[in-house]
């Protein structure tokens, strides 16, 4: 099995977790043995989030999508943002806030759960009023956490230990962009994402009645 950052291997990762007997859980309560908390920080692309969300729905693997209200890259107040949240909910996923410190925003569109974007260590694990912080004690400790940040697993791809049930429970942070767009390195993946967005932008211009003839 090749541990490529591709949707095909993401499918294998989820199937490995099922084989290991894990239960897909959210952040409503502190994890119990056997829980797998699928966490997606959506930094760049709602399209990538939706592609991953469709696959998870097909596999019966509900996740929590953390979305930004202050992203440079997408707009939750645009029709595409509204549609994305509605689609994520309809597919059975949870939606939390991917917050930029120190701003928090309680809003009906989010569950009361938050993950900081690029947090500094001094506030990363601190409790936050009105929210569960995904990194607060009880939900996070290094032995029960794996992340694909920058297309690199610090302790190797977790598919094998998941299949063997090696983790008592696990919070697995996955960035959809990394898996949906092809590339051996983060740079290649980002360039592929930009190529795909060019097509999307052309469609949006057309929908905005811009003459592209």
Residues that bind Zn ion (CB under 5 A): 3, 41, 43, 117, 157, 159
177: number of Cβ within 10 Å:
27
90: number of Cβ within 10 Å:
10
Between 169 and 179, name the residue whose CB sits nearer to Zn ion. Answer: 179
Cβ 145 to Zn ion shortest distance, Å: 15
Instruction: Report the alpha-carbon distance of residue 101 to residue 87 in Å, rounded.
Output: 27
- Look-up: residue for tokens 């541990």? 3
- Tokens representing residue 77 in the block: 């107040």
Between 5 and 24, name the residue whose CB sits nearer to Zn ion. Answer: 5
Cβ 68 to Zn ion shortest distance, Å: 7
Between 166 and 206, name the residue whose CB sits nearer to Zn ion. Answer: 166
Between 41 and 56, name the residue whose CB sits nearer to Zn ion. Answer: 41
149: number of Cβ within 10 Å:
15
Cβ 100 to Zn ion shortest distance, Å: 9
| DSSP label at residue 194 | H
Enumerate the β-bridge partners of residue 115. Answer: 98
* Nearest Cα to Cα of residue 96 among 78, 109, 80: 109
Cβ 63 to Zn ion shortest distance, Å: 15
Cβ 28 to Zn ion shortest distance, Å: 22
Between 118 and 204, name the residue whose CB sits nearer to Zn ion. Answer: 118
């Amino acid at each position: 099995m090749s541990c490529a950052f591709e949707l095909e291997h993401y499918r294998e990762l989820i199937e490995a977790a099922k084989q290991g007997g894990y239960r897909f859980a959210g952040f409503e309560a502190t994890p119990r043995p056997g829980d797998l908390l699928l966490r997606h920080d959506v930094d760049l692309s709602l399209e990538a989030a939706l592609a991953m969300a469709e696959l998870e729905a097909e596999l019966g693997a509900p996740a929590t999508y953390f979305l930004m209200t202050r992203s440079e890259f997408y707009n939750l107040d645009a029709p595409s943002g509204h549609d994305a949240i509605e689609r994520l909910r309809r597919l059975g996923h949870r939606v939390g806030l991917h917050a930029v410190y120190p701003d928090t925003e309680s809003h009906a569109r989010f569950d009361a759960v938050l993950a900081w974007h690029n947090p500094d260590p001094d506030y990363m694990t601190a409790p936050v009023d009105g929210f569960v912080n995904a990194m607060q004690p009880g939900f996070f400790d290094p032995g029960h956490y794996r992340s694909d940040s920058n297309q690199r697993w610090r302790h190797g791809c977790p598919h094998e230990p998941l299949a063997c049930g090696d983790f008592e429970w696990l919070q697995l942070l996955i960035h959809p962009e990394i898996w949906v767009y092809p590339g051996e390195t983060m740079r290649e993946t980002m360039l592929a994402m930009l190529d795909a967005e060019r097509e999307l932008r052309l469609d949006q211009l057309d929908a905005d009645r811009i003459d592209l003839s």
